[in-house]
Amino acid sequence: MSEKNGKNNKLTLIVFSGDIDKVHAAFTLATTSASMGSDVTMFFTFWGLNAIKKNPPRIKGKGFMQIALNFVNRGGANRLSMSKFNMAGAGPAMLKKMMNQNKIPSTEEFIQMAHELKVKMVGCEQSMQVMGINKEDLVDEVSEIIGAVTYLSEANEASTNLFIS
């Protein structure tokens, strides 16, 4: 655990949303905080797991409902929608183009940057079980799958905890 001026210097983020604008906000905060010397943990749960699914994601599941959910909710860093103004997929394409023009990293680049900055990216065990997602379905930068108790233990040590929904 890093400390600065005698204060705990740790950030945890729960990434609940799979919307590109919210995922980018989470990665911006995580990478900025890590570059300033903080220990950072990103806990991806429910729709936030879409951001860390491999491209292209596999459509699978243990039963019809999981297969159907994974068919309509494929995820993957390059398939994230917007929280507003999705416009049948045109919104994310326009946002990605504007971000590229302004030299803002893509979601895939943010994942790599976070990994290089030692941001700990973890998946939520319970959400993954419900949604039929395995660790093999996630990008390699995800270090482990943890439950709520483990996440809350880390959050209790942190000076800042954020919930990105």
Q: Tell me what pLDDT residue 57 has.
A: 60
Tokens linked to 147: 């439950």
Strand order from edge to edge, sheet including 142-146: 142-146, 120-124, 39-44, 10-15, 160-164
All domains in the chain, ordered by first residue: 3-164 (3.40.1260.10)
C-alpha distances (whole Å) from 93 to each of 8, 39, 73, 105, 149 are 39, 32, 18, 14, 38
Would you state the pLDDT for residue 7?
56
With 90 as the cut, is the pLDDT of residue 89 above it?
A: no
CB atoms within 10 A of CB 16: 20
pLDDT at 1: 54
Q: What is the mean pLDDT of the chain?
A: 91
CA–CA separation, 45 and 67 (whole Å): 18
| Residue 36 pLDDT > 90 | yes
For the chain, give the percent of residues with pLDDT over 90: 70
CA-to-CA distance for 12 and 119, rounded, in angstroms? 10
Query: Which range (13-17, 92-96, 101-105) has the least confidence?
Result: 92-96
Q: Which pLDDT score is estimated for 134?
A: 92
Q: What is the pLDDT of residues 57-81, one digit of tens each?
A: 667 777 888 888 777 776 788 889 8
Task: Name residues whose C-beta falls within 8 Å of residue 13's C-beta, 6 or more positions apart in sequence.
Answer: 26, 29, 30, 40, 41, 42, 43, 161, 162, 163, 164
**Overall average pLDDT of the 95-110 stretch:** 95
pLDDT score recorded for residue 65: 81
